[in-house]
Amino acid sequence: METTTDAVSAGLNLRPSPKFDATLALSWMQAAQALDPFTMPASDVFKALVPLMPYDYTQTWSDSDLDVSRLDASLAARYRLSDRASLRGEYRLVDYVDDAPYLEDTSGRVHVVMFAVGYSF
């Protein structure tokens, strides 16, 4: 079985003033795995006696491929209106790629934008 996995992540927090801070976060991962080829020989007599055996199972290993990657990126900012109130905004990107889909391709990209008003009691 062959397996590879890699992951990298980084983040940066900035506070240019007491009322404002910003955060940048990035992470990337990839994973790949596959079974080694194997044989499942069956005699003609066995195939004749077992009804499901006419199917050739010798290629089953080829359905085991996993080859995915994912990128997550976010940028957030917060502005303090007072000691108790703040405004916050964030953008997030998730990009998922499935290079070896089995039943269906689950690749896709999501963009999320959020805004919030905060108040501390």
Question: Residue 79: is its pLDDT beyond 60?
Answer: yes
**Residue 46: pLDDT band by 50, 70, 90 thresholds?**
confident
Sign of torsion over alpha carbons 80, 110, 63, 32: negative
Question: Looking at residue 44, what DSSP letter applies?
Answer: H
Confidence (pLDDT) at 45: 80
Confidence (pLDDT) at 57: 67
- Give mean pLDDT, residues 110-116: 97
Percent of the chain residues past pLDDT 70, beyond the cut: 88
Count of domains in the chain?
1
- Give mean pLDDT, residues 6-15: 96
Q: Could you tell me the residue range of the domain that residue 91 belongs to?
A: 2-119
Question: Residue 53: is its pLDDT beyond 70?
Answer: no
pTM of the model: 0.70
Task: Answer for the pair 46, 71: CB distance below 8 angstroms, yes or no.
Answer: no
